[in-house]
Structure formats: structure tokens, C-alpha cells
Copies of this chain bind each other. A is one copy, B any other.
Amino acid sequence: MSRVAIIGCGMTSFGQQWDKGLVDLAVAASLRAMQDAGTESRIVDAVYCGNMSSGMFTGQEHISSMIADAAGLRMVPSTRVEAACASGAVALRQAFLAVKSGLHGCVLALGVEKMTDVSSTMSTRILSAASSQDYEASIGATFPGLYAMLARKHMDRYNTKEEQLAMVAVKNHDNALANPYAHLRKKISVDDVMQSQRIADPLKLLDCAPVSDGAAAVIVASEKIAGKADTPVWIEASAQSSDSISLHHREDLTTFKASACAAREAFRQARTGLNEIDCLELHDCFTIAEILALEDLGFAEKGSGGKMVEEGLTHVGGKIPANPSGGLKAKGHPIGASGIAQAIEATWQLRGTAANNTSPSKVLTHNVGGSGATAVVHIFGR
């Protein structure tokens, strides 16, 4: 079957962008991606936009046609896709499928979220719409609370330490220092994390990804079109899985089964194994999430993710660098944009132009919706 590649990338800075609206951000990223692809924009024949909740954040639904129009792509089919915090990776996956189908040759896949125009109380409430309203949000279990339960269970069962969680944050902040697009470019220490405000015990403020505005976009093209591009990066696998939305319906709170399932499928599609992957972008909305991901994807034995971080294996220069971009934790987490931003970091790593270059041969990205009800894994290669 013919291959599919990323041939262009563009993103906005992540952070508080009070002078820009959702469409402004989406269009800025999209135009940069089209320019980077070096193709004329009129060759783009479909658009997918990952976005979790423009309706609740901004009062505007139906944003896909607005973005296409404002980006100079009026008449082009344009569709919003949503799977909570995994909306970005799901948009990339739809672009991949659309090209694979043969109906489209060159697709703009973007993600965007405008989160800071509402109060932090309101953004917490809106984000909780990605968890079960009936069983979780209604009793006050917001996402920090849900991930705190996962962290507590992991600590109890596997002797994972709060300091190991903190080390994820320290590493990702270190990585973000070099990333001009990152929201939190600030060096922190384990002590800083340990002494930051407790949000939902054992998670503290610096264990949590920030609330950010931002957009990211890639141009996904058929083998025929990509063959003319300078540095195509091939999408070798695009796999997605789902699970119960509520934690109480899971057999085990120390694993995201959807992540493991999507990873298995991704390795099958790419005909590759763990050992061939040498760089990771993981869904670290909270520090415990990066540890769960290392284990669920198979890079750490179950229960040993904290130790792996402590040993420095996931640092840039370590055995398998994780989140050289700074991750959601320090790069920022404009919900719908995060999955696309991961794909951009993968592309830049494989092109050799990333800020923290790790010279990988294959990069795996991992994007999660909610507390694991959606997981998407992509594998990229040169």
C-alpha cells in the first residue's frame, strides 16, 4: 500500500495569547505549515481540525469551515474531530486515512484550543467534560483528582516516589528551555516541585501541565506528492484505541489499556519493535501520565517507570529520550493542538532540526484523551 508522509509543519507559540482568537491561532499555524511544505496551498484538498471544546470555551462550534475559509481553503472539505485531549492525534489519523483512501492527496491536519479566555474555575469545569459527567465530574473529581488517584495507586503498588514524579517535570522543563514555542521556559528543581502547592495529593502544581492557548498544523501527503518534498517524514503507523471513560470501570488503575492496545497495533503496522524506536513524545498532562506511558508502551517494565526516569534514561542523551520538546508539561497543553505538536516534534527530530536534537531513526508519539478513554500512537520514520 502506498505510503503517507508529513511534508510541512507550522505552529504558534503555546501560552496565554489574549490578543488572538481561536481562528487566528489556527490560521497562523496552518499558513506556516503550507509554507513549510513548499507546495502551493491550492493543492490542499481536505482539512481536519482537532479541537476538544470550542463550543464551551468560546461559544463557537463549526470551526472547521471557518478555519478553512480563513486559511484560503474555501470549498475544501473541512471537518472537526474530537476525542478530548487526543483530538490532535485523531485529526492526524483522519488525514492519514483520507490520504490512504486515495480520495485525497494532500491534507491539512491541525489542532487548536483557545482556553484562557475563561476563568480557571471554568476551564477546569470544561476540561472535566472529557471525563464522565455522571460518575466523576458530578462528584467533584476533576482531572488532577483522577490522575492523583492513579498516582497514589502506582505509589502504593510499585513504591513509586513523589520525587520520581517530580523528576519528570524537571526533565521536561529542562527540555523546554531550548524550545521557542514552549509555554513554561523555566528551569525548576525537584525541590521546587515538592514545595509547590498541593493540587490533589500527591500531585502538586508543578506536576500539572498548564492551561495554554495554541495551534499546530501539519501537511500530510501521498507518496506521489511527498516524493517531490525536500524532507518527507513517513507516517509508519497510526493506531487508536478506546476504553471506558470512568476509572471505576477499569480492571487496573495502574495502566491505560488503550495505550497498550494502540501501541501493539502501531508496532504491527510499522513492522517494527521497541528497540528500533529511539525518541518518544509522550502524553504527560500530569507527571504520573509519563510514567504510565513508559510502562504501557513497553519501554519500562510495569512498575519501573519511576526508576527509569530517576536513572536518567529518558533524558536527552539518555537511552530513549522522552519529550525532548518539553512535553505537555512544559511546552504547554492547548488540548486540541497537543497531538499535532507531538507530530511536529517528531518531524523536526527526524529532519534533524529540533531544538533538542536526538538524531533518532524512528520516533513514537502518544496522545491520550481524558484519563485514558482514548489513546493514539503514531510511529514516524525517515
Q: Which A residues have a C-beta under 8 Å from some C-beta of B?
A: 1, 47, 52-53, 55-56, 58-62, 64-66, 68-69, 73-84, 90, 93-94, 96-98, 100-103, 126, 129-133, 137, 238-245, 249, 257-258, 261, 369-370, 373-374
B130 touching A74, Cβ below 8 Å? no
B61 touching A243, Cβ below 8 Å? no
A83-B80, A100-B102, A129-B62 as given contacts; A242 in contact with B69, CB under 8 Å:
yes
A79-B94, A94-B79 as given contacts; A245 in contact with B103, CB under 8 Å:
no
- Some 6 contacts from A to B, beta carbons below 8 A apart, are A52-B62, A55-B126, A62-B83, A66-B245, A79-B90, A100-B100
Q: What residues of B have a CB within 8 angstroms of the CB of A126 in the complex?
A: 55
B370 touching A79, Cβ below 8 Å? no
A77-B241, A243-B74 as given contacts; A84 in contact with B100, CB under 8 Å:
no
A77-B240, A80-B83 as given contacts; A62 in contact with B103, CB under 8 Å:
no
Q: What residues of B have a CB within 8 angstroms of the CB of A74 in the complex?
A: 242-244
Q: Give which listed residue, B47, B64, B79, B130, contacts A61 with CB less than 8 A.
A: B130
B130 touching A242, Cβ below 8 Å? no
A98-B97, A129-B55 as given contacts; A62 in contact with B373, CB under 8 Å:
yes
B79 touching A129, Cβ below 8 Å? no
Q: How far is B66's CA from A374's CA once the two chains are assembled, in angstroms?
A: 10
Q: What residues of B have a CB within 8 angstroms of the CB of A93 in the complex?
A: 77, 79
Q: Give which listed residue, B58, B62, B75, B239, contacts A369 with CB less than 8 A.
A: B62
A75 touching B241, Cβ below 8 Å? yes
Q: What residues of B have a CB within 8 angstroms of the CB of A83 in the complex?
A: 62, 64-65, 78-80
Q: What residues of B have a CB within 8 angstroms of the CB of A56 in the complex?
A: 55-56, 61
What's the least CB distance linking A242 to chain B, in Å?
4
Residue of B nearest to A76 (CB): B242
A245 touching B81, Cβ below 8 Å? no
Q: Give which listed residue, B69, B94, B103, B129, contacts A59 with CB less than 8 A.
A: B129
Residue of B nearest to A241 (CB): B75
Q: What residues of B have a CB within 8 angstroms of the CB of A97 in the complex?
A: 94, 97-98, 101, 103
Q: What residues of B have a CB within 8 angstroms of the CB of A47 in the complex?
A: 242
Q: What residues of B have a CB within 8 angstroms of the CB of A373 in the complex?
A: 62, 65-66, 69
Q: What residues of B have a CB within 8 angstroms of the CB of A130 in the complex?
A: 61-62
Q: How far is B75's CA from A64's CA once the two chains are assembled, in angstroms?
A: 27
A129 touching B240, Cβ below 8 Å? no
Q: What residues of B have a CB within 8 angstroms of the CB of A69 in the complex?
A: 242-245, 249, 373
Residue of B nearest to A261 (CB): B75
Q: How far is B77's CA from A258's CA once the two chains are assembled, in angstroms?
A: 9
Q: What residues of B have a CB within 8 angstroms of the CB of A132 in the complex?
A: 60, 66
Q: How far is B46's CA from A90's CA once the two chains are assembled, in angstroms?
A: 12
Q: Give which listed residue, B58, B103, B243, contacts A100 with CB less than 8 A.
A: B103
Q: How far is B73's CA from A64's CA once the two chains are assembled, in angstroms?
A: 28
What's the least CB distance linking A230 to chain B, in Å?
26
B77 touching A80, Cβ below 8 Å? no
A82-B82, A241-B77, A243-B74 as given contacts; A65 in contact with B370, CB under 8 Å:
yes
What's the least CB distance linking A281 to chain B, in Å?
20
B374 touching A65, Cβ below 8 Å? yes
Q: How far is B56's CA from A235's CA once the two chains are assembled, in angstroms?
A: 35
B374 touching A242, Cβ below 8 Å? no
